[in-house]
Amino acid sequence: MNGATGAAGCGPAPVSYEFYLDGYGGALAAEAFAEALPAAVRCVCGLTGRREPDPRWEEGDADAWRRAVCAAADAYAEYGEGRVGGFSIGSFSVTNYRDDGTTGSEVAREAALAELAGTGFCFSGARR
């Protein structure tokens, strides 16, 4: 997946599958990662205001941004964007419960914020 692209083939993906595997330690198949990537980038962009790392950032900050995208992609791949829960078909049931009312987007946001901790990317308070 070296030539991975962003949503609808609109240019290069801001996080490569190779980084996901080697830099983050992810376990999704390439197709699952590519499917979850657009939602993950939207999530991290909403938190940081950036759709890709800024070339002026230190490499550690850029890697934290990429790791946040990877964490969000894992969450979206597992839970989707909607409500976290389960379903039943006859006697077969699948449950993926965390908290009542939690959505996959909230789980992805929590995961991304954990990776961004200490970077200042999500700080929204006042500074002196």
Which DSSP helix (H) or strand (E) runs through 94?
Answer: strand 92-95
**pLDDT band, residue 55 (cuts 50/70/90):** very high
**pLDDT band, residue 11 (cuts 50/70/90):** low
pTM above 0.85, yes or no: no
**pLDDT band, residue 12 (cuts 50/70/90):** confident
Q: 84 exposed, middle or buried (CB, 10 Å; 0-12, 13-18, 19+)?
A: buried
For residue 78, give both structure tokens.
């597992």
For residue 54, give both structure tokens.
């800024």
pLDDT tens digits, 14-47: 999 999 999 999 999 999 999 999 999 999 999 9
